[in-house]
Structure 1
Amino acid sequence: MKKYILILITLLGLSCKDKTEVTSSIKEKENSNKSIVGTWKLVYGETRQKDSIQIKDLSKADFIKIINEDHFAFFNQPKKGGEGFYGGGGTYTLDRNNYIEVLDYVAVDEVRGHEFPFTVEIKGDTLIQSGIEDVPEAGIKRHIVEKYIKID
């Protein structure tokens, strides 16, 4: 009888451990999604295309990215005058540091519906996003690095 009770206690302990690990894994994924949610302002943007590197001139425009639980949007607002405004948005998935944007709302037909895989890293109030934007139909193939600070 003591053996059966000991086996039962052991099995109960093991089953609780497994549920805790599964619950922890789910909570970890939920927390990683929550940490990316917010309003982000671009503080550094770098584009590498072929053998050139272009640094985004942030003195001429503000670039904002807004991320909620499952959608994102971005806006580029010139600081003087109205020309050059653009924006877009869509859905995203985030699994650890693998972030994939699907650009559903944008003026350029060739990139609409395209998936853009990125790697993201969050350090305090800073979001670092990098990856290759590759859209042959639009003549785009470039590596980007963007750094944002959380403003809300």
Structure 2
Amino acid sequence: MKTKVFIFLYCAVALLSCKQAQTDVQPVQLKGTWQLLSATTKENGKQTVVDFTKGNKHMIKIINDTHFAFLNHDLDTAKNMNNRFDAGGGSYTLKGDQYTESLDFYKDKNWEGKTFNFKVTINKDTLIQTGIEKVEAAGVDRIITEKYVRVKERIK
């Protein structure tokens, strides 16, 4: 009898610990609208950091169940001037923290049809995306790190 109770308790503890381990691992929640805070580029031994919280640049990324889109423009351009608008998008896959974008739409055809692999992490409402952008036809081979914050209300 004692053996059966011991085995039952052992199995119960083992099941509870497995259940706990499964709930501790949370999938990355990418869906939503993200506003770019900063972009760091490392290319040819040089690092460049652009702070999107200061100055005139504004960029968002919108991610749904299967696709992403990014929209980028300058805020202080006169109404009669080119506002230096940029946009693109396509499909993506997410496996654990491995996020792969397939750029299906972009103004520069050298970038269209390319895939870009990133590692993503989310801490509270901050998304950090790091990976390699390599587009030989455009002469691009760099490591990028983008830091976003989740947009909770209408962007002004």
Smaller-chain TM-score bracket? 0.7 to 0.9
Deviations 1:96-142 (A, max 9, x none): 00000000010011110100000000111000000111111111100
Residue of structure 1 equivalent to 2:56: 60
Within-5 A mapping of 1:44-123: 44-58=38-52, 59-81=55-77, 82-123=82-123
Contact 2:59 2:72 in 1 (8 A): yes
How far residue 57 of structure 1 moved from its aligned partner, in angstroms, is 4.0
Match of 2:27 among 19, 32, 49: 32
Q: Moved runs in structure 1, 4+ residues, more than 3 A?
A: none
What TM-score do the two structures reach when normalised by structure 1? Answer: 0.77
Contact 2:128 2:145 in 1 (8 A): yes
Letter in 1 for 2:61: K
How far residue 93 of structure 1 moved from its aligned partner, in angstroms, is 0.2
Residue of structure 2 equivalent to 1:142: 142
Structure 2 gaps, min length 5 = 1-14
Question: Aligned equivalents of 2:64 and 2:151: distance in 1?
Answer: 14
What TM-score do the two structures reach when normalised by structure 2? Answer: 0.75
Contact 2:69 2:90 in 1 (8 A): yes
Secondary structure at 1:137 match in 2: helix
Number of equivalenced pairs: 129
Contact 2:37 2:51 in 1 (8 A): no
Contact 2:73 2:85 in 1 (8 A): yes
Question: Aligned equivalents of 2:106 and 2:131: distance in 1?
Answer: 19
The structure in which a higher percent of residues are helix is: 1
Residue of structure 2 equivalent to 1:43: 37
Secondary structure at 1:103 match in 2: strand
Secondary structure at 2:110 match in 1: helix
Contact 2:66 2:92 in 1 (8 A): yes
Q: Identity rate of aligned residues, in percent?
A: 38
Residue of structure 2 equivalent to 1:4: none
Contact 2:35 2:148 in 1 (8 A): yes
